[in-house]
């Protein structure tokens, strides 16, 4: 078992009140780590440390900040297996997926290390003679990074790496259900040479630590990934203080399968998107919108596929589907399965938690398939965040797009078709931040923007160069070397 500590101003310390809480392995119920249960007082110290460090970090040349990130990425790569196993134990993800997530964190860190020698601005012609006009990126200040448990490593790198390379300092609050990877990441950045106070980590509940970060006047930007409920609270609290904020929230992602689709491919993509990470991805495919010509065959094959999936501990090589994160998540899935039945959807397979054998110690739930789901049913509208897939039959591509867009979220969508014209119409009309053609709804790469339209966020994006828009501000600079008064727009 690991004993985690907060990182404040370069010191590893317990919570000021000395209290801790356990992090549990959701496959076995074993305690993986003891974690500081911090208070607003700890948050205050961490923000002070970040403010102090900002004074020199913003002046430290970006290419040299990048060298620290580069070393951190190398350390991550050396420790990939250790990090992956720790992740599976802390939050249940199947080991192959944990390895994928660590790789994503490595990719993001190398990518942002590259930005240390770019961080490009703009130089444009000035309208007056003997005048120079350019725009440069400035850091914003102290960034609070608040992250969810389902991607405990990669999402932390999505936020921290662009923030740090651009010259901000940070206070990071990892999710309470999966704190271990945040701790290991901070250790790596420290070992890579990050100066004290540039990154601070405070563990503890959303109410005590997260909320104190939102309200702290020393925080300039809140970068939040999590549920819509908490996201709204972040937006309101930040707005009151005129703080910048960045929201990445939930999804209700759909996979459209047209009559002309390659069904073998579609079945694989759907099972992977719906039941990978036990459906606990913001991009999980939780709706299948299927054209009636292939409906019966698709349902039959999905049923067969879902029944074959092997549930188990993510550390066992044969496991395809791991546990849900905690008891509350199992109860939430059970609630939605009841709702689906009451709404009149047809339960095709699954629909029960695992209550016998070795798996009864963990939070396992059978891969579940509902057919004949109406697009307005609650199971087709609300984020369940578990292994529950709803099949919605439609007549045409146009109807499929309407159903796809008829939810409050707009994160990811996918379409299976062999018709290039239909594929391009879908790309044009699907109102989501990510669109896949002939692939499921999961599997984003870090060099493109990641995030959602409409209710999934507030228009910002993580990853890619787009991330820099969140963590920097534009400063327009005019240098007049004419030696006389020149009046823009007037002297012409």
Residues near ligand NAP (CB under 6 A): 146-151, 173, 175-177, 205-207, 210-211, 214, 225-227, 230, 233, 248-251, 282, 383, 385, 411, 452, 456
**Do the beta carbons of residue 473 and residue 138 sit within 8 Å?**
yes
Going 392 to 393 to 396 to 397, the CA torsion angle's sign is positive
28: left (phi over 0), alpha (psi -120 to 50) or beta: alpha
Cβ distance to ligand NAP smaller for residue 47 or 146: 146
> Does the annotation count 282 as an active-site position?
yes
Q: How far is the CB of 176 from Mg ion (least distance, A)?
A: 8
Residue 211 touches which member of ligand NAP, Mg ion, none, C-beta under 5-8 Å by kind? ligand NAP
Largest CA distance in the chain: 85
Cβ distance to ligand NAP smaller for residue 393 or 452: 452
Catalytic option among 115, 190, 282, 462:
282
| Residue 353 CB neighbour total at 10 angstroms | 17
Residue located via tokens 């963590």: 471
Dist. CA 45–CA 301, nearest whole Å: 56
Q: 5, 23, 169, 412: which one contacts Mg ion (CB under 5 A)?
A: 23
Residue 233 touches which member of Mg ion, ligand NAP, none, C-beta under 5-8 Å by kind? ligand NAP
Going 23 to 91 to 282 to 388, the CA torsion angle's sign is negative
Cβ distance to Mg ion smaller for residue 116 or 323: 323
Q: How far is the CB of 205 from ligand NAP (least distance, A)?
A: 4
Both tokens of 310, joined, read 């092997």
Cβ distance to ligand NAP smaller for residue 282 or 397: 282
Burial state string for 22-33 with b = 16 or more CB within 10 A and e = fewer than 16: ebbbbbbeeebb
Residue 322 touches which member of Mg ion, ligand NAP, none, C-beta under 5-8 Å by kind? none
Helix axes 95-115, 62-78, angle to 10 degrees: 160
**Do the beta carbons of residue 56 and residue 225 sit within 8 Å?**
no
Dist. CA 162–CA 151, nearest whole Å: 17
Q: How far is the CB of 237 from ligand NAP (least distance, A)?
A: 8
Dist. CA 163–CA 160, nearest whole Å: 5
Cβ distance to Mg ion smaller for residue 182 or 285: 182
Residue 364 touches which member of Mg ion, ligand NAP, none, C-beta under 5-8 Å by kind? none
- What string marks each residue from 32 to 71 as x (binds Mg ion by CB under 5 A) or -? ----------------------------------------
Q: How far is the CB of 23 from Mg ion (least distance, A)?
A: 4
Dist. CA 98–CA 204, nearest whole Å: 23
Dist. CA 461–CA 248, nearest whole Å: 8
Q: How far is the CB of 361 from ligand NAP (least distance, A)?
A: 22
In the chain, what is the straight-line distance between the N-terminal and C-terminal CA atoms, in Å?
73
Q: Binding to Mg ion by residue 90, rule CB under 5 A?
A: yes
Cβ distance to ligand NAP smaller for residue 27 or 156: 156
- What string marks each residue from 273 to 302 as x (binds Mg ion by CB under 5 A) or -? ------------------------------
Q: Which stretch binds Mg ion (CB under 5 A): 20-28, 193-201, 280-288, 299-307?
A: 20-28
Q: Which stretch binds Mg ion (CB under 5 A): 23-31, 108-116, 340-348, 380-388?
A: 23-31
Q: How far is the CB of 202 from ligand NAP (least distance, A)?
A: 11
Residue 23 touches which member of ligand NAP, Mg ion, none, C-beta under 5-8 Å by kind? Mg ion
Cβ distance to Mg ion smaller for residue 238 or 324: 324
Backbone angles phi, psi at 186, to 5 degrees: -65, -40
Cβ distance to ligand NAP smaller for residue 100 or 196: 100
Dist. CA 16–CA 21, nearest whole Å: 14
Q: Which stretch binds Mg ion (CB under 5 A): 87-95, 355-363, 384-392, 395-403?
A: 87-95
Q: How far is the CB of 174 from Mg ion (least distance, A)?
A: 11
Cβ-count burial of 406 within 10 angstroms (0-12 exposed, 13-18 middle, 19+ buried)? middle
| Residue 426 CB neighbour total at 10 angstroms | 22
| Residue 121 CB neighbour total at 10 angstroms | 15
Residue 241 touches which member of ligand NAP, Mg ion, none, C-beta under 5-8 Å by kind? none
- Which segments of 408-484 does DSSP mark as H helices, in order? 420-429, 467-471
Q: Binding to Mg ion by residue 147, rule CB under 5 A?
A: no
Both tokens of 57, joined, read 């970090």
Catalytic option among 248, 320, 383, 462:
248
Q: How far is the CB of 442 from ligand NAP (least distance, A)?
A: 11
- DSSP character at residue 8: E
Residue 90 touches which member of Mg ion, ligand NAP, none, C-beta under 5-8 Å by kind? Mg ion
**Active site positions, annotated:** 248, 282
Binding region for Mg ion (CB under 5 A) = 23-24, 90
């Amino acid at each position: 078992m690991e004993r985690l500590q907060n990182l404040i101003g370069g010191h590893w310390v317990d919570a000021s009140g000395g209290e801790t809480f356990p992090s549990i392995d959701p496959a076995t119920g074993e305690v993986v780590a003891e974690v500081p249960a911090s208070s607003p007082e700890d948050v205050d110290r961490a923000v002070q440390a970040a403010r102090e460090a900002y004074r020199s970090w913003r002046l430290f040349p970006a290419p040299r900040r990048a060298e620290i990130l580069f070393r951190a990425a190398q350390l991550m790569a050396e420790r990939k297996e250790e990090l992956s196993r720790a992740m599976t134990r802390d939050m249940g993800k199947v080991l192959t997926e944990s390895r994928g997530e660590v790789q994503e964190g490595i990719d993001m860190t190398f990518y942002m290390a590259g930005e240390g020698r770019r961080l490009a601005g703009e130089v444009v012609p000035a309208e007056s003679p003997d005048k120079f006009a350019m725009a440069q990126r400035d850091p914003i200040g102290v960034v609070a990074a608040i992250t969810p448990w389902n991607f405990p490593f990669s999402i932390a790198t999505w936020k921290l790496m662009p923030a740090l390379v651009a010259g901000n300092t940070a206070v990071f609050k990892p999710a309470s259900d999966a704190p271990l990877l945040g701790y290991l990441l901070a250790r790596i950045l420290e070992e890579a040479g990050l100066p004290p106070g540039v990154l601070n980590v405070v563990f503890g509940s959303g109410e005590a630590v997260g909320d104190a970060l939102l309200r702290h006047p020393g925080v300039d930007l809140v970068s939040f990934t999590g549920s819509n409920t908490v996201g709204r609270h972040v937006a309101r609290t930040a707005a009151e203080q005129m703080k910048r904020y960045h929201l990445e929230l939930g999804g209700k992602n759909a996979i459209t399968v047209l009559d002309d689709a390659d069904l073998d491919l579609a079945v694989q993509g759907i099972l992977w998107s719906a039941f990978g990470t036990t459906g606990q991805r913001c991009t999980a495919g939780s709706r299948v919108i299927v054209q009636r010509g292939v409906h019966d065959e698709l349902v039959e094959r999905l049923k067969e596929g879902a029944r074959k999936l092997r549930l188990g501990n993510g550390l066992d090589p044969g496991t395809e589907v791991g546990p849900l994160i905690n008891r509350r998540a199992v109860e939430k899935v059970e609630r939605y399965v009841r709702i689906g039945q009451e709404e009149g959807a047809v339960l095709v397979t699954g629909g029960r938690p695992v209550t016998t054998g070795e798996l009864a110690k963990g939070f396992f739930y059978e891969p579940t398939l509902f057919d004949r789901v109406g697009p307005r049913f609650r199971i087709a509208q609300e984020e369940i965040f578990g292994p529950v897939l709803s099949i919605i039959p439609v007549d045409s591509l146009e109807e499929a797009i309407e159903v796809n867009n008829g939810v409050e979220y707009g994160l990811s969508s996918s379409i299976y078709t062999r018709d290039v014209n239909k594929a391009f119409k879908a790309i044009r009309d699907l109102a989501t931040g990510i669109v896949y053609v002939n692939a499921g709804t999961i599997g984003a790469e870090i060099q493109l923007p990641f995030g959602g339209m409409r209710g999934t966020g507030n228009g910002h994006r993580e990853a890619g160069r787009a991330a820099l828009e969140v963590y920097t501000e534009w400063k327009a600079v005019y240098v007049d070397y004419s030696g006389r008064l020149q009046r823009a727009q007037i002297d012409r």
